[in-house]
Amino acid sequence: MARRDVPAAPRVIHVDRREANALEVGEDLYLFLEASDSVLVPARCPHRGGPLHLATMEHGAQGAVLVCPWHGTNVPLRALVRRAVATVQSGDRVRAVLDAPGGAEIVARHIPVHVATDGTCAGNCPGGHQKGSPRS
Amino acid sequence: MSGPVDSLAPPVPPPAPPLARPLAPPPAPIDAWLREYATHELFQRNDTDLALDNPYRRALPVPPVPPVPPVPPMPQDAPADDPATADLETYLTSDEALFANRVLLTIYERDFVLLPRAEFAAKHADFAAYYGAELTGRGDQIRPHLEARLFGPLERSIQVSGEWTFERFRAYYEDFVAGYHAEEHGAVTTRVTTLPDPRRALQFYLIQAACDFLVESSAMGRNALGNFGPVQSELFKVIIDECGYGVDRTRHSTLFQRVLESVGLDSTPHSYWGYYLPSTLYTANYYNYIARNHARIFRYLGALLHVESCFRLTCRQMAAMMQAVEGPGATVDYFTEHVHIDNHHSRMALESIIRPAIAQYGSWALEEVLRGFEESRTVGDLHTHGLARQLAWMAALQDGSALEAPGPRHVLHRGTLAAGSASNFFVAASERSVRVRRGAMTVEAAFGCERALPEGATMRVPAGVTFKLRSEIGAAYEVAHGAP
């Protein structure tokens, strides 16, 4: 649990991208946007904190948007990218620098992500599909 | 339709850093230009692979067209000549990469003033050709294509994203320093001391270091000129330290000359040109690459911080290596000087150079600093891996464990050596087996580190190392896959 009396300070987290696609920071969740890239975005809906890793994807006038499963809020991907965490990736190794509340537990792990797009997998889903293959 | 997947979405990728875009495919003449450049009279090799006190004569043997193997190539022999797709480290262990790095360093160092110590009149024609219009013009045409080949994969291997601030960068840097103990490099310097012939191993190590240390600060000196205010002045303080404040006997390259001489090596730049590993040349080229194009000035500052922060530790290991091999009276001034001064240089680089540069030039500059730091880290790792591989190979050569029983092999190449001749240095892209079919020859892994092979002998050469063959009486040999 984060201690509110300890101010947020930059903390460096090492992530192996072969093993993790998300960071849990206390009660917050951050997700790597692409299976092989370093863009790490907040995965809580800015409306009421809904779980964007369970969102559906649509394409509209705003470009790609995530539709939050709680209230249907459209969250433009580019807005998430603007709030991306500072990261640097070299090969499979990512170093992320988060201004985390003091004492907040930070865990890098792999979580299943639930996105509706065109009926194909966007990565290594639990069903073991290859990227781009039809989902069953 | 929806289901669990691994990432949020396939978004529009973030824009590539302006300097990370690969060049367009080279025009057709590039290979012809390379061949023309490398076959200039100045760059013809001699069998010794030495160029004593003549920094203009640098052998640039063009790698042969891969011979058509008599059997279908094995998967591990897929050509490693496409750095856009090949793993960078794999690419660096290829004849093509050795050649490209030799040519590129030759081109870069035409920007440096290099003069022989003696007999200049006899070398004046070489001097004039090296700095002349013909090689300069062709070199300038070739250089961008070699840079794209060699450094495009490095640039593409690193991504910077999110909002960086100086305080976040400082946290990242402090995390690096706290976790950096130079274990890999320490294993290399320890290995030097434990080889059957540690003196030869030490000479090998120092020859690789000499590639950069004898022209130390020359690449960074490219950034001394111009007008960029206080950052320029602070950077210049580091440069004048490297130059010994104008006192020749304290100039860092002078100190390193004494180190070389103390172990019986020639101390003029690039005397052992033919003995450099591809990873050694790549390292020297990298710092020229980021310093020569001033659009990479901030990347250079990040690389400078990385090097200064690591060198104070690795120099301590090098001093210990020298003393373990040469005894307590070993010449270690070069190393102890860096253990001391680089504490100051790393602090100066962070607080007096990078911090004000970011404050003045903004977040783009910071992203470049980060990129330079990470690139330098990757290049340093590649360099250390190259040393470790070659030392393991030298140990196997010295203790005889590289000798193996002959057996059925897929032969890749058959060749002959005339009496009194020597081959180029090869790079073993994957494990190889060398068998003497007729006559006798000597395998050389590093300067003075060699083993005689009589007729019928077979030697295993591990992947990623360099070696050359020579014969006093003439020999026929074959190079085969390492595995039956």
Give the model confidence (pLDDT) of B169-180 as tens digits.
999 999 999 999
Could you tell me what percent of chain B has a pLDDT over 70?
A: 89
> In chain A, which residues have pLDDT < 70?
1-7, 35-36, 115-136
The pLDDT value recorded for residue A35 is: 67
Q: Tell me the C-alpha distance between A122 and B4, whole Å.
A: 9
Find the residue in B nearest to A96 (Cα): B172
Of B6, B168, B171, the CB nearest to A125: B6
CB of A45 less than 8 A from some CB of B: no
Instruction: Tell me the per-residue pLDDT of B273-298, one tens digit each, with 9 for 90 and over.
Output: 999 999 999 999 999 999 999 999 99
Q: What is the pTM of this model?
A: 0.88
Dihedral sign, Cα of residue A76, residue A77, residue A82, residue A84: positive
Which of B1, B5, B160 best tests the A interface by mutation, with the highest count of A CBs <10 A?
B5
Query: What b/e string do you get for B326-357 counting C-beta neighbours within 10 Å, with b at 16 or more?
Result: beeebbbbbbebbbebbeebbebbbebbbbeb
Instruction: Tell me the per-residue pLDDT of A78-109, one tens digit each, with 9 for 90 and over.
Output: 999 999 999 999 988 999 999 887 778 999 99
- HSE, side-chain direction, 13 A CA sphere, residue B324: 17
The pLDDT value recorded for residue B76 is: 42
- What spatial distance separates the first Cα and last Cα of chain B, rounded to whole Å? 52
CB of B6 less than 8 A from some CB of A: yes
Residues of A in contact with B1 (CB under 8 A): 116, 119, 135
Cα-based torsion angle of the residue sequence B423, B429, B432, B436 in order, rounded to the nearest 10 degrees: -10
State mean pLDDT over B32-56.
Answer: 91
Mean of pLDDT over chain B: 89
Contacts of B336 (CB under 8 A, 6+ apart): B315, B319
Q: What is the CA radius of gyration of chain A?
A: 15
Residue A44 phi, psi dihedral angles, 5° rounding: -110, 135
Instruction: Tell me the per-residue pLDDT of B415-443, one tens digit each, with 9 for 90 and over.
Output: 999 999 998 898 988 899 999 999 999 99
Residues of B in contact with A18 (CB under 8 A): none
Residues of B in contact with A21 (CB under 8 A): 6-7
For residues B213 and B27, the model is more confident at: B213
Q: Tell me the C-alpha distance between B312 and B339, whole Å.
A: 4
Question: 3-state DSSP call for residue B186?
Answer: helix
Q: Tell me the C-alpha distance between B189 and B278, whole Å.
A: 19
Instruction: Tell me the per-residue pLDDT of B95-113, one tens digit each, with 9 for 90 and over.
Output: 989 999 999 999 999 999 9
Which two tokens mark A58?
């649509």
The pLDDT value recorded for residue B9 is: 44
The pLDDT value recorded for residue B160 is: 95
Q: Does the distance separating the beta carbons of B2 and A114 come in below 8 Å? A: yes
The pLDDT value recorded for residue A37 is: 79
Of B4, B11, B377, the CB nearest to A33: B11
The pLDDT value recorded for residue B38 is: 95
The pLDDT value recorded for residue A120 is: 37
Cα-based torsion angle of the residue sequence B311, B317, B322, B327 in order, rounded to the nearest 10 degrees: 140
The pLDDT value recorded for residue A5 is: 60
Q: Tell me the C-alpha distance between B217 and B222, whole Å.
A: 9
Weakest-pLDDT range from B81-85, B116-120, B222-226: B81-85
Most confident of B60-74, B329-343, B358-372: B358-372
Instruction: Tell me the per-residue pLDDT of B365-423, one tens digit each, with 9 for 90 and over.
Output: 999 999 999 999 999 999 999 999 999 999 999 999 999 877 778 898 899 999 999 98
> Is the pLDDT reported for residue B31 higher than 90?
no
The pLDDT value recorded for residue B429 is: 84
The pLDDT value recorded for residue A8 is: 76
> Is the pLDDT reported for residue B302 higher than 50?
yes
Q: Tell me the C-alpha distance between B440 and B147, whole Å.
A: 40
Q: Does the distance separating the beta carbons of A135 and B3 come in below 8 Å? A: yes
CB of A11 less than 8 A from some CB of B: yes
Nearest to B160 by CA among A63, A103, A94: A94
The pLDDT value recorded for residue B183 is: 92
Question: How many other CB atoms are found less than 10 A from the CB of residue B400?
Answer: 10
CB of A79 less than 8 A from some CB of B: no
Distance of CA B360 to the CA centre of its chain: 34
> Is the pLDDT reported for residue B484 higher than 80?
no
